[in-house]
A and B are shown apart, each in its own frame.
Chain A
Amino acid sequence: MAMASAPKRSAVAPRPAGRWLAQVARELATPRTLLVGGVLVIVGYLAVVPLVYLLHDTFTGPGGLSIDAFTRAYTANSQAGRMMLNSVEFAVGSGALALAIGTLLAYVQVRTDAPLKGLFFAASLVPLIIPGILYAASWIFLADPRIGLINVVLFKPILGHGLFNTFSMWGMIWVQGLHLAPIAFLLMGAAFRSMDPSLEEAALMAGAPRRVLLRRITMPLVRPAIVSAILLMFVQSLESFEVPGLLGLQNGIYVFTSRIYFVLRQFPIDYGAAGAYALGLLAFAVAGVAASGWLARNARSYQTVTGKAFRPRPIELGRARPLVGALVVLFFGVAVVLPVAVLVYASLLKFYAAPSMDSLRTMSLANYRTVLHMPLATTALRNSVLLGVGAATVVMFLTAVASWVVVRTRAMGRRLLDVVAFTPLVVPGLVLGLALSFVYLRTSLPIYGTLWILLIAYSTRYLPYGMRYASAAMSQTSGELEESAHICGASWWQTFRRVLLPLASSGILAGWVYILVVSFRELSSSILLYSPGKEVLSILIWEQFENGQFTTLAAIGVCMVAILVLLVLVAYRLGARFGVDAEGSR
């Protein structure tokens, strides 16, 4: 790849031809080139392996190259048009909802003196922590037209029937949107923190009203983060299975992933058709990457972290303060308290039943005892923590370097790198699992059957997320700081480590936290790749789900929320000690 072409190299005078090769070799052997080159090779390798596997299965038939798989997937009674429309509607809807909620929360938390800031932390992270299956299931118990608590308690007495139906497209968008909002919150929070408010102040001085200010100054300044957030959430909604699987199927709302699930469970498995669907997803995603590249053009205009000092000052809400506080409490109640309360309630029962005297009588802590006595619980917890921290660190390091190449250099093929690093997002987890087991079963390295293969799987799956977080952060940091460091005689590595990383740290930390949390949930590739003794928490959860132990599952979910909130708190405290102002201007 083209890492050799550096951004700010002074022109080199012509040299005698004989020494030219030696010169090139010396230039290539710098630590920077080696590091950047190494990272690019690893990123490329991680992303390309599953892709090659997918392409191979999709485009080969019994008689060599063929496109039959597409025919099977998209014609012949497949209702492909309807399915694609559903997918896009679901992805756009939940992405938009999540963006609106996440951005608003992030803005209020970072840039205003809103009350109850402690709630933001929980409101933004808890939905992320609760496994998708559990979050969707808790919304069944809240908003099912017949037994949903909200319907039974609030609307049936007044209207005579339930108002909400979680098994509709709107229900799916609602649940997915709330579940995704933390991505937007983390990304946008990091962006607002790195934004120099002096531009806003200037606009205010010039007499611009707040509305105009928000539309013309604030939002354009955080455009790279918005674009990244939209892209991530759009593709993640396209790719997620829990909500369409649990809520959509009831009324026959099929999306890409429910079709992939269907073809992957047939005998013999039609990998070709699964691949054809996955490539359909990829086409949408690549269009997304291209659009985001176009939207984020003129990258310099977003660089607000420059040589000039700035201190974000919170905006005083004044009389609106109680209103904003009330809205925060409302959101917190709906997105966190209700689902978690249902989980806590369910975790105390033997089998789920709507609240009644009967069910209250049978409440006990038996499920928590079961969880504590699960022979695998400690092993799984340890493995999950190891893998979560490991994958988050590996991915954020790799993507910090890779996004530097994409954002900062004019290297040829940097757009390609961006796209390549994005592809793992659309490779179905099961296909990734198959690809990795295929490769590592055929190498003599001790990877298959160990935690390493899971680390590789997680690092691959979360590469795209790391890339979005890192490049959103990099785009806000101006190149002039690096130049000053360079002029002061700092080596590239020193500059990268002491200037760039700290400046981009709030975005990188946000990405780290995100990957840590979601890796606790990773299931679809883990389930094929784990070996006895290498279980992870998500496997345990899935077991309980498959066994129909919803109440035990709820107990695990409650424990997981507690553990991860603790872990994330520690991460932020540590971050704060190392100078990362992650909690914003409290």
Chain B
Amino acid sequence: MVGTLAVVVALALSACGKSVTSGGATGGTQAEKVYQQLNALPANQQRAAAIDQAKKEGTLELYTSLTDELVKPVKDAFEKQTGVKMNVFRASSETVLQRTLQETSANRTGNDAIETNFGEMATLSKQGVLSDYRGAAFANIPQSGRFQGWLADRLNIMLPAWNTKLIKPGQEPRSWEDLADPRFKGKLTLELTDSDWYENVTKSWLRHGKTQAQVDELWQRIVANANVAKGHTVMAELLGAGQTAVDAMNYSYITQNTADKGAPVAYRSADGIAHTIAFARPQGVAMMKNAKHPAAAWLFNDWLLGDGQKLLVSLGLTPSVKVEGDKSLQGVTLEPYDVQGLTQDSKTWDDRYDRLLRGLKQIGGD
């Protein structure tokens, strides 16, 4: 009972002093010193030194939102190639963000490295809890994949997807505007949280000369065609089952993985070309500023941005570095993802997309 009371008091005290501080904001943490040492070594000695130190540190603690079926091969390959053991906490990107923020604000950073979505990485970067990787693999990363505190390790390609049994060849959407076409009335599914896609399409339309009124009207018509679902993988599953005929947007690797299981879904037309212009959202990897196993964190970044890129290709993902044999971008035309706009203002777009969806009319029955 005394113990319980002590905890109550501790809670009351800590609740008063609650504030999110960036863990060790300036001055260089212990971990950052290790990062700097490794970065300073000649490129051909870095990996060996990191492996050596990481083994002494013990394990690598990774937080990631990579899906479960991708985590296993990544973990196996990393452990095999480096000999360093890896523990993985896997959850949705929002949960990964929450957990990391909770721990860093209590100065108890639990992970060494992190791999998750663009928006979450940008938020963590703003909190100042990440540290820049500048090892040998950095040189390979294209300019578009370099961010304050983190680097892109892969890209999520946004494209419409359809059920090939329900949509005849030639009838599939060939542009984002097509989604507003009456032929998709009641056949379209939108995802609840795709506000960044909404932002990119909107700005692209405006860039290409549409007026705001035209853009608004297109969205109204798209929403009038659509039902709403939650979760991209669920959407792909329901698309394969024929519950819906078209996913307004799904990530190409999810559609591809569903197709590989034998489901009748596609994101490229019969000619092998994805006629809709795609947006590629960077997914990132970083080292924690207060990692307990800094050499292991550095090693993971070095590995994932180097050798690991080939593994990502074999898993059907799109790497951020050019890798031979990568077919995920075949027939795909890319337009830049609006990094700037969504770093500054994602909440406004969340709200706008939410309001757009809630304008949905009741679509009952068949």
Chain A contact residues: helix, strand, loop or mixed: loop
Total number of A residues with any Cβ neighbor in B under 8 Å? 69
Chain A: CB-nearest residue to B103: A441
A531 to B103, CA, bound (A): 13
Are the CB atoms of B102 and A434 closer together than 8 Å? yes
Residues of B contacting A42 in the complex (Cβ-Cβ under 8 angstroms): 4
A:152-182 near B, CB below 8 Å:
161-162, 165, 167-168
Verify if B209 is at the interface (C-beta below 8 Å from A): no
Query: A503 CA to B329 CA in the complex, in Å?
Result: 69
- In the assembled complex, the CB of B340 is this many whole angstroms from the nearest CB of chain A, namely 15
What distance in Å separates the Cβ of A39 from its nearest Cβ neighbour in chain B? 10
* Interchain CB contact under 8 A, A250 and B227: yes
- Asked if residues A45 and B7 are in contact (CB atoms below 8 Å), the reply is yes
Which residues on the A side are within 8 Å of B346 (C-beta)?
Answer: 266-267
Q: Is the interface of B mostly helix, strand, loop or mixed?
A: helix
For window 316-366 of chain B, which residues contact chain A by CB distance below 8 Å?
346-347, 350, 354-355, 357-358, 360-366
Among A296-304, A546-554, A562-570, the one that faces the other chain is: A546-554
**A-contacting 9-mer, from B84-92, B147-155, B283-291:** B84-92
- Which chain A residue lies CB-closest to B13? A442
Is B237 an interface residue, CB under 8 A from the partner?
Answer: yes
With A41-B5, A42-B4 as known contacts, state yes or no: A548 contacts B14, CB within 8 Å: no
| Max chain B Cβ within 10 angstroms of own Cβ: one of A252, A439, A543 | A252
By beta carbon, the residue of chain B nearest A56 is B15
B364 & A45 in contact (Cβ 8 Å cutoff): no
Contact A528-B230, Cβ < 8 Å, known A38-B1, A352-B240: no
Cα(A163)–Cα(B74), bound, Å: 47
B14 to A161, Cβ gap below 8 A?
A: no
A74 at the interface (CB under 8 A from B): no
Q: Which residues of A contact B232 (CB under 8 A)?
A: 548
Indicate if the CB atoms of B230 and A249 lie closer than 8 Å: yes
A499 at the interface (CB under 8 A from B): no
Interfacial chain A residues near B95, Cβ < 8 Å: 527-528
Whether the Cβ atoms of B10 and A442 lie closer than 8 Å is: yes
State the CA gap A52–B15 with chains docked (Å): 8
A265-B261 contact, Cβ under 8 Å, with A140-B243, A252-B357, A441-B106: no
Cβ-defined partner of B102 (8 Å) among A38, A52, A441, A544: A441
Give the B-binding residues of A (Cβ under 8 A).
Answer: 37-38, 41-42, 45, 49, 52-53, 56, 77, 79, 140-141, 144-147, 161-162, 165, 167-168, 245-246, 249-252, 254, 262, 264-269, 350-354, 362, 375, 430, 433-434, 437-439, 441-443, 445, 448-449, 527-528, 530-533, 543-550
19 further interface pairs, Cβ-Cβ under 8 Å (given A42-B4, A548-B257): A45-B7, A145-B365, A161-B366, A252-B361, A264-B94, A267-B123, A350-B262, A353-B263, A434-B102, A438-B14, A438-B102, A438-B106, A439-B11, A439-B14, A528-B95, A543-B68, A546-B68, A547-B233, A548-B232
Q: Contact residues of B with A, CB < 8 Å?
A: 1, 4-5, 7-8, 10-11, 14-15, 18, 61, 67-69, 72, 87-92, 94-95, 98-99, 102-103, 106, 108, 110, 119-120, 122-123, 192-193, 227-234, 236-238, 240-243, 254, 257-258, 261-263, 346-347, 350, 354-355, 357-358, 360-366
List 13 contacting pairs A-B, 8 Å CB cutoff, sorted by A: A38-B1, A146-B366, A161-B365, A250-B227, A254-B358, A351-B237, A351-B240, A351-B258, A353-B263, A438-B18, A438-B102, A445-B7, A532-B87
